Structure 1
Amino acid sequence: MEKWLDPKTIALWIVIVLLIISLLAFSFIRLVRINFRRIVVERLKESRTQIEHQKQLLETGIIAQEQERTRIAADLHDSLIGKLTVLRLKNQTAQNTEEIDSLLGESIAEARRISHDLTPPMPKFITLDELIENVLAPWKKQFTLTFRKSIYSEKNIPNDLKIQIVRVIQEIIINIHKHAEATNVFVHLRMSPTLLSITIKDNGKGFDVEKAKKGIGLKNIELRMLFIKGHHKIKTGNKGTTAILVLNHSKIESE
């Protein structure tokens, strides 16, 4: 009888094969467990990072609201009340009526701008493009502002969504006014059957995006875009800054 046909030899080979299979199975199970554990740890880390990021955004939202109140209070005190005080003094001293009328017109325009900042006019009764146009109108005194609209699909957008879009636009315009030293601003609203997008360009000096991410302005924009399930991108350089906001129509529920 050949040696390999010997029952003891066959039994030995069977044991060896079973040991190899067991070793491979053990190694495979161990590898799967290690990979599974690594995936779980990474997912937990990502979840903690997302939770921390959302917490920061919520804190940013609270701070931004307080800063907005402070800014509006300063506008009332420094701009509107200042103009009205000068107007009152000129009226008491019987100054030139044309100058008084001019100051009165400026005060009314300033009051209208602050009112628009607080609550955009009648969002329920006007379209999004009309609402944006009304909000942008007071800024035309600060720089050359062009508003273009390309509407290929009319859609009944909820009031809350209109307000959030307008707030984001206001935040960007205020940042341009404060920091960009821009003279021209271009706003383009596009509405297609599937997408709503807004592009805002200026010819200012640009800014450091990484440094700006630590500030309240960009975090406030991110918070609002997250709230309305939209996406945004900001590109900046020494020839100006471009902000792009995009929303998917499928995520917009009609009233």
Structure 2
Amino acid sequence: MEKWQDPKVIALWIAIALVLVFTILIFVIKIMHAGYKRMTEANLREARLQLEYQKKLLETNLKAQEKERMRIASDLHDSLIGKLTVIRLKSQTGVPITAIDEMLGEGIAEARRISHDLTPPLLEHTALQDLVAELINPWKENLKIDYFSDIRTEDALPPNTKIQMVRIVQELITNINKHANATAVKVHLRYTPNCIALLVKDNGAGFDTTILTKGLGLSSLELRMQYLNAKYTVNSTIGVGTTTVLVAPVPQTTTTNG
């Protein structure tokens, strides 16, 4: 009988083969376990970062709401209540009724503006391009505004989408008016069956986008962008101006006006 046919030799080779297979199997399992552990740790880190990001956005949202309440309270106290107090004093001193009527008209207009800032009237039944036009109209006293809308669908947007877009335009123009020292602004709105695109460009002082720190306004904008699932870019050149471009997908819940 050949040596390799010896049962002891065969058993030895089988044992060696089993040991090798078992060793390779353990090695593979350890590699897979290490890879799974690294992947799990990476997912946990990503989840923690996402949670921290969401927490910061929530804090920003709360701060933005509180800032908006303070602004409205200031408007009511300094503007509307001030006008009403003057009207009361004037009426007590015998001022002609025509003057009183004119001041009442100013007070009503101021109350309407504050109410419009809270929620635009007929939001559900007013087209987005009309809401934006109503919003920017008062700013034309301080800025030369070129507003252009390109509407390529008759589908109605959900009210929540419209109010977020209006607030984005409002915050961008407010920031331009406060910080950019601009004299002219372009606001271009495009609405197609697939997306909403917005361009806001000013001729102001500009800033260095590489050292931009997010203030409350920009953080609030980012929160609204996230709500709309939008992509956006901010390009700015010092001494030339700033351009903000936003593109948001159209929500699937849109309905066609009959």
TM-score by length of 1: 0.82
Shift of the 244–78 alpha-carbon distance from structure 1 to 2, 3 Å rule, reads same
Could you give the per-residue CA deviations for residues 159-191 of structure 1, whole angstroms, max 9, x where no partner exists?
222112111221111111111111111111111
- Work out whether 1:132 is the aligned partner of 2:132: yes
Q: Compute the displacement of 1:140 (Å).
A: 0.9
CA contact (8 A) 2:157 2:251 kept: no
SS in 2 for 1:163: helix
What are the residue-to-residue correspondences of 1:13-24 with 2, within 5 Å? 13-24=13-24
Cα distance in 2, alignment partners of residues 82 and 240 from structure 1 = 37
Q: Which residue of 2 aligns with 1:31?
A: 31
Shift of the 194–69 alpha-carbon distance from structure 1 to 2, 3 Å rule, reads same
Cα distance in 1, alignment partners of residues 234 and 154 from structure 2 = 27
What are the residue-to-residue correspondences of 1:193-204 with 2, within 5 Å? 193-204=193-204
What are the residue-to-residue correspondences of 1:1-255 with 2, within 5 Å? 12-82=12-82, 110-209=110-209, 212-238=212-238, 239-254=240-255
Shift of the 211–105 alpha-carbon distance from structure 1 to 2, 3 Å rule, reads farther
Shift of the 139–253 alpha-carbon distance from structure 1 to 2, 3 Å rule, reads same
CA contact (8 A) 1:188 1:200 kept: yes
Cα distance in 1, alignment partners of residues 69 and 184 from structure 2 = 27
Query: Cα RMSD over matched residues?
Result: 3.4
Q: Compute the displacement of 1:118 (Å).
A: 1.6
Shift of the 251–116 alpha-carbon distance from structure 1 to 2, 3 Å rule, reads same
Q: Compute the displacement of 1:34 (Å).
A: 0.7
CA contact (8 A) 1:121 1:131 kept: no
Shift of the 142–102 alpha-carbon distance from structure 1 to 2, 3 Å rule, reads farther
Gaps of 5+ in 1: none
| Percent of pairs with identical residues | 47
Could you give the per-residue CA deviations for residues 194-242 of structure 1, whole angstroms, max 9, x where no partner exists?
1111111111222355665542112211222222333333222312222
Q: Which segment is superposed worse, 164-173 or 228-237?
A: 228-237
Gaps of 5+ in 2: none
- Counterpart of 2:147, as a letter, is F
Cα distance in 2, alignment partners of residues 205 and 102 from structure 1 = 39
Q: Compute the displacement of 1:96 (Å).
A: 11
Shift of the 79–22 alpha-carbon distance from structure 1 to 2, 3 Å rule, reads same
CA contact (8 A) 1:229 1:251 kept: no
CA contact (8 A) 1:232 1:245 kept: yes
